C-alpha cells in the first residue's frame, strides 16, 4: 500500500500535480505533521494541532492538490531526527514563507536568525522586525508560526526571562530550550 501511494505521489509530482506534499514523523513530543511545497518546508504541526484542520487550511490557502508523499520530506525528517538527538544545531532547509505576511513574516525571519542555544525577547523581535512598540504583535507572530522548531520561536522569551507561551505547551518549549542548552527554567 505504501509503495503504491509513493508511486502515486511520484507520478503527481512528475506531472506537476503535487503542490503540497505532507507526511508525519515521530518526535520526543509526539507525532509532527510536515508539509512542503516545491519552494520548501511550509508547515510543521506540533502534536497539539489537528492534522485534518491543517490539511484543510493548506488546501484552502495554497492549493487543493495536497497529497501524502513521505519521500518528499525525507530530508526534513532526517534533520529533525538529528536535532532531537542533539546532533544538529542549524537547519539547512528551503523554507516557504507564504503562510506568513508582512510584520509577522519579518518577525519570523528575525527569529530564524536566533542562534542555537540562545534566546531573545519578544521586544527584541519586534524591534528587529521594524516596530519596537509592537511587542504583542511579535508574540502573536510567534504563536502563529507555521514552521515551529525549524523557525525556532521556542527561543523567544518574555522580557525578564519568563517562558511566555508556546503552541506545543510550555513543557515542550522548556524541553527544547534544555535540549539546546539555553535557559529554560522560566526565570
- Catalytic site includes residue 142: no
How far is CA 7 from each of CA 4, 12, 14, 67, 169, rounded to the nearest angstrom? 5, 9, 10, 12, 37
Closest CA to 187 of 165, 158, 167, 156: 158
Identify the active-site residue in 9, 153, 163, 182: 153
For the chain, what's the residue count?
A: 187
How far is CA 175 from each of CA 38, 45, 71, 130, 169, rounded to the nearest angstrom? 32, 17, 28, 30, 10
Closest CA to 184 of 175, 144, 12, 126: 175
Question: What residues are labeled active site?
Answer: 153
Amino acid at each position: 500500500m505504501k509503495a503504491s501511494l509513493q508511486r502515486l505521489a511520484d507520478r503527481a509530482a512528475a506531472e506537476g500535480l503535487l503542490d503540497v506534499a505532507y507526511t508525519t514523523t515521530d518526535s520526543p513530543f509526539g507525532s509532527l505533521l510536515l508539509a512542503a511545497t516545491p519552494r520548501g518546508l511550509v508547515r510543521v504541526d506540533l502534536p497539539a494541532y489537528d492534522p485534518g484542520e491543517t490539511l484543510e487550511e493548506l488546501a484552502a490557502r495554497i492549493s487543493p492538490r495536497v497529497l501524502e508523499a513521505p519521500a518528499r520530506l525525507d530530508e526534513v525528517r532526517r534533520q529533525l531526527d538529528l536535532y532531537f538527538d542533539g546532533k544538529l544545531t542549524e537547519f539547512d532547509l528551503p523554507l516557504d514563507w507564504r503562510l506568513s505576511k508582512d510584520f509577522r513574516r519579518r518577525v519570523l525571519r528575525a527569529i530564524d536568525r536566533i542562534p542555537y542555544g540562545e534566546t531573545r525577547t519578544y521586544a527584541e523581535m519586534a524591534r528587529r522586525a521594524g516596530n519596537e512598540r509592537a511587542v504583542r504583535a511579535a508574540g502573536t507572530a510567534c504563536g502563529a508560526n507555521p514552521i515551529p522548531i525549524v523557525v525556532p520561536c521556542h527561543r523567544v522569551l518574555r522580557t525578564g526571562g519568563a517562558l511566555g507561551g508556546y503552541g506545543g505547551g510550555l513543557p515542550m518549549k522548556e524541553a527544547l530550550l534544555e535540549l539546546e542548552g539555553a535557559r529554560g527554567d522560566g526565570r
